[in-house]
Each structure stands twice: as C-alpha cells, then as structure tokens.
Chain A
Amino acid sequence: MILRNLSYALQEGDFEGRCALISALLLSLSVHLSGFNPHVSAVVILISGFVSRGKNLRLIAAFTPFFVLIILSGLFFSFEYSLMSSLAFAAIISAGVVVYASRISEVAGAMIYFKVPERFVSMIQLGLCVMPVLVNDLQEIMFVMDAKGLRRYENALKAFISTAILRALSLSESLYSKNYRNRCVFMLRSPEKKDIILLSVSFLLFLSTALLNLLSLPF
C-alpha cells in the first residue's frame, strides 16, 4: 500500500511550473514561520489536497511509519507537541507535493526563469526523475518476490539495493551515450487562471502568517 501511494503521489500534474514552485515555497515557509501552528498546517494540507487532487494525502499515508515514530516520541516528551509536529510534517510533505502538481520540465523552466544555473537545474531534474523510477523498481521487486514473511522483505531489500546501484551505473552510461552537457529539458508557458488562484491563495497565507509573526499576535 505504501508503494502504491508513493507511486501515485509522484505522478506529474498540469499546473504551471513557476506558480507551482513559488506556491510550494510559500506554503512551506508559512508552516515554518507560524512555528508549526496546527491551523496553518491544516490550511496548507487543504490547499495542497485541492491542487494535487488528493495526492498529498496518498503521500502522507505512504509516510505512516514516520508519523507513528513522531507520535510515539510524544510519550517521552509532550504529546501535544508530537501531534503538532506530525501535522506540521504532513503540511511540509503536502507543500512538496505541490511541486509534483506541475511537470518536472516546467519546474525546471521555472528555475531557469529565476536564473538558477542550468547545471544545478539539470541535476535537480535528474534527481526528481529518478525517484518515481526507483519506486517503480521497488514495486516490481515486491511483485516478483516468492518468499514469505520477513524473508520476503529481506530479499526485496537485497534486490532493491542491487537494482538501485545498477540504476546509478546505467544512468551514468546513459548520460554518456546521450552526450550529457548539463543542459536540462525545460518548458515555459503562460500561467492559467487556476495557476494564478493557487499562487494568490499561497501568497495570502504566507502574508497573513508573516504579519501575525511580525506583530507577535496569536494565530
């Protein structure tokens, strides 16, 4: 189930790259500026859920083991704080999913537009591209494993590590064959109405959080 959720959440969407990238940054900053305020976190999760058509919830579900660990830590410290941290963690994940609400080539286009050196953009792009491929590899491995119980997971881990190492080697071979010159595949297009709405909502949330923070008012 975790793998299915991960694979679903890492699929690209159709939002404009610049709007998606700025919105993801603004939403993430809002969570940090608010000091993990649960209301702000909840709003971020809602916005991301709407934009990504629920993909953020799938990714949150994929991270269930981490949430369990954070909540368990509450038994040793403060339970309220552990719940707040869990919600903030879910909000940060949701903000990240907004990047995948666009196409990776459009996100690369956005970075080029904001004058990030192409060399770095192409490296980030390759990294973002490899993630869903590795998730797909792990899904295939789990499908083919015939052992049962813990042995199944042990074998799957062994096959996955070997496959990931081979994938890294073959990627370098592939980049050599394709005459890789640190250039990235990017795309720029004009934002549509929905992109502007996303950007405006994210900006409003960021502005209100920043103002409340500056004036030291309660959320």
Chain B
Amino acid sequence: MKVFGEKPSPEIAYMVHQNPYEQITSLKVIDELIFPSIQSGKKPEDARKDAVALAEEFGIGHLLFKPPYQLSLGELQIVQILAGVLAERKAILLDEPFAHLSRRNAKKLLSILEDFFCVVSDHRIEFMDCFPEVINLGLSWKEYKGSTPELGEIIFQGEVSLRENEIVAITGDNGSGKTRMLRRMAVEMKNQGLDFGISLQNPNYSLTESTVTGEVEDGKAIEEFQLGNVKNRHPHSLSYGQAKRVSIAKAFRHRIVLLDEPTAGQDIGFRNALIEILRKNRKTAVIATHDEIFAEKCDRVIEL
C-alpha cells in the first residue's frame, strides 16, 4: 500500500501487511505484540501489561506464550492487528485484514478498531456496511448459475470420506483446526497412494519454477485462473492473491485437490468462479475456509 506513491511514515501510521507470516519479528506472541511499542520507546513492563490486557479482551490470552509461526494464519492476523493497536500511532493501515478471519473475529476486530483512524483495503464486501466511508476502485463480478454435481463412488475413506467429484468445505473459527484436519487428510491420502495436490495458506511454499507457465503447465488452467497477463512472470514476483491462484492451479494437476483458504486475498469474482472451475474440471476437493458464502456453495460442509 502506498499513499501518493510513498510508503506511509511509520511514525504516523502502522501498516498491517496482507500476509501476517511476513511480519514475524519475535519468537513469542507476547513479544510480537509489544515489538512496535518498544520501538516507540515504551517501557517493556508497561507494554507487556497493555498487551496482556488487550489479548485477554480479544480472547487470545492462551496464545501469548506460543511461537507466532505455529499459529494459524487467522490467529496470527489478529496478533499483528492488535500489535498495530498497541503501537498507538495516529492511523492504522490494514491490507486485507479480514482475509483470514472468521466472521465472529472480524466483527470483534471491527468493534476494537472503532476507536482508531483506520484505512482498510479488503475484498470481503460483506463488511462494507461497517465503515462510515467506502471508496470503490472498481468492483464487478460475474454470477454463476451453479451446476448440479454428479457424485461418483467413494474414493477416499479416512478422517472424512470423499466421493468422486464431491466438493467438501471445512469451516470453523480461527484456530479451530481446519488446517490441521486438511494436513491429516493429506498424510492419509499419501499413505493410501492417492493422486492429490495441496495448496497451503502460504502459496510460496509450493512455487518452484521460474515462470507461471512453468508452474501451471496447462494453458487452459492459466486462462481459467485469470493468469494470462502474468504467465511469463516469476511466481514469487506476484501479489499474494495471484500467487495463491498459481498455487491452486498447480494443485489442479491432480485428481483430488486440498485447498487451504483458497479465497483469501481473492476478489469476489474469483470466489464465485472457483466452484465452477472445480465442477467443470470434475475435481474432488476438500476446502478449509472461513468464508461462509463460499462454503454454502460446496456439496457438503463440515463444521469444526
């Protein structure tokens, strides 16, 4: 995010990035929370007291002594935003703050941010009404009718049983274990010798080639995932949302796809299109998501 082509001054504005894993600077959540306040000259003891109080208020007190990199993306997003609140700057700039949050946590966060001057850039338009002023930089999307799935035989039996062409959503609050469940299923599928692909929350982990075309290999998938205009670029030079789409398209080489928060950082058009792409390509999918609107479109929802 840039303001008139310049980065915002950190003395005035605290910037919360889109991918909270990229902001880790400490080995304990409590230290992560107080890091920006310490930089402003606040005494560590005072900063710790404030951090504990705010964490308790938000209901993440039990996470204070955990390593940040072991949290779920949603939990870490909350930590980074609360660190911004504790930094006591004049403004907080938030890039996709709701991308990894459950509705309950997003609402809670909004109530805390009410007392601050915030600029929020987000794709989740369901929270648009919560803001006094909204700037629309161009929002349009295509609605899909929704085709009827033709479910086949059971092809996987483990943590959950899966039928051919079935799309299953795993939903739940932040930290409820959606990702853990997806990982366990991946291990079970590996042990059973099934052909599956997985796209984790951080897309960079699965990107190994020097171009998007090299990653996806399939021209049709490049078009379906709207990656045509970046097909010759290095995957690591893309935005978080674009890299995420490359990682999902790469998983599409396989018969079964396991997707962790595929709609995070994606515009509403892609959120609508993903189910259609899955159906069209007759994929069996398990999707961990907190996006309730998206989950409703799946064949089955498992709530944790």
Interface residues of A (CB under 8 A from B): 11-12, 103-105, 126, 128-129, 132-133, 136-137, 140-141, 143-146, 155-156, 158-159, 162-163, 165-167, 170-171, 173-181, 183-187
Other 11 A-B pairs with CB < 8 A, given A129-B26, A178-B36, A184-B38: A105-B28, A140-B202, A144-B198, A159-B205, A162-B208, A170-B23, A175-B25, A178-B87, A179-B87, A185-B35, A186-B44
The segment out of B11-19, B55-63, B162-170, B269-277 that lies at the interface is: B11-19
B27 at the interface (CB under 8 A from A): yes
Decide: A155 and B208 in contact? CB cutoff 8 A. Answer: yes
Q: With the chains together, A63 CA to B23 CA distance in Å?
A: 29
Chain A residues with Cβ under 8 A from B16's Cβ?
177
Q: Are B27 and A129 in touch, CB under 8 angstroms?
A: yes
Of chain A, the residue at the smallest CB distance from B45 is: A187
Chain A proximity mask over B2-44: 1 for CB below 8 Å, otherwise 0: 0000010011001111010011111110010011101111001
Q: Which of B25, B69, B198, B207 contacts A171 (CB 8 A)?
A: B25
Question: Chain A residues near B26 (CB, 8 Å)?
Answer: 104-105, 129, 185
Contact residues in B for A140 (Cβ distance below 8 Å): 200, 202, 205
B41 touches A183 (CB 8 A): yes
> Which one of A145, A162, A170 contacts B17 once the chains associate, using CB atoms below 8 Å?
A170
Please report the C-alpha to C-alpha distance between residue A155 and residue B17 in the assembled complex, in whole angstroms: 28
Shortest C-beta distance, A173 to chain B (Å), equals 7
Across-interface contacts of A129 in B (CB, < 8 A): 24-27
Taken together as a complex, chains A and B put the C-alpha atoms of A145 and B198 apart, in Å, by 9
User: Would you call the interface of chain B mostly helix, strand, loop, or mixed?
Assistant: mixed
Question: B255 contacts the other chain (Cβ, under 8 Å)?
Answer: no
Residue from A126, A162, A177 in contact with B10 in the complex, judged by beta carbons closer than 8 Å: A177
Question: B74 an interface residue at 8 Å Cβ cutoff?
Answer: no
With A133-B69, A170-B17, A177-B14 as given contacts, are A185 and B34 in contact (CB-CB < 8 Å)?
A: yes
Q: Is the CB of B205 within 8 A of A174?
A: no
* B236 on interface, CB distance cutoff 8 Å: yes
Among B15, B24, B44, B206, which residue has its beta carbon within 8 angstroms of that of A185? B44
Closest chain B residue, CB of each to CB of A109: B44
* Cα A180 to Cα B41 with chains together (Å): 11
- Residue B67 CB within 8 A of the other chain: yes
Asked if A137 contacts B205 (CB within 8 A), the reply is yes
**Is B204 at the interface (CB under 8 A from chain A)?**
yes
B183 within 8 A of A: yes
| Residue from B11, B186, B202, B208 whose CB has the most chain A CB atoms within 10 Å | B208
State which residues 173-217 of B face A: CB under 8 Å: 183, 186, 197-198, 200, 202, 204-208
A-B contact pairs, 24 of them (CB 8 A): A12-B28, A103-B28, A104-B27, A104-B28, A105-B28, A128-B27, A129-B25, A143-B183, A144-B206, A159-B206, A163-B205, A167-B22, A171-B22, A171-B25, A177-B14, A177-B15, A177-B16, A177-B23, A178-B14, A178-B35, A179-B36, A179-B40, A185-B44, A186-B44
Q: B25 near A162 (CB under 8 angstroms)?
A: no
Residue of A with least CB distance to B47: A185
Chain B residue numbers with a CB within 8 Å of A159 are: 204-208
**Which residues of A have CB within 8 Å of B67?**
11-12, 132
Complex contacts, B11 vs chain A, CB 8 Å: 179
Picked from B17, B40, B41, B200, the residue with its CB within 8 Å of the CB of A177 is B17
Inter-subunit contact A12/B27 (CB<8 Å)? yes
Q: Is the CB of A170 within 8 A of B22?
A: yes
Closest Cβ of chain B to A18, distance in Å, is 16
The smallest beta-carbon distance between A164 and chain B, in angstroms, is 10
- Docked Cα-Cα span, A207 to B36, in Å, equals 43
CA distance A176 to B13 in the complex (A): 11
Q: Closest approach, in angstroms, between the C-beta of B228 and any C-beta of chain A?
A: 23
- Choose among B22, B69, B198 the residue that contacts A132 (Cβ–Cβ < 8 A): B69
Beta-carbon contacts under 8 Å, B104-156 to A: none
Name the B residues within 8 Å of A173 (CB-CB).
17, 22
Chain B residues whose C-beta falls within 8 Å of the C-beta of A141 in the assembled complex: 205-206
> Which residue on A lies nearest to B23, using beta carbons?
A174
List B contacts of A178 (CB < 8 A): 10, 14, 23, 25, 35-36, 39, 83, 87
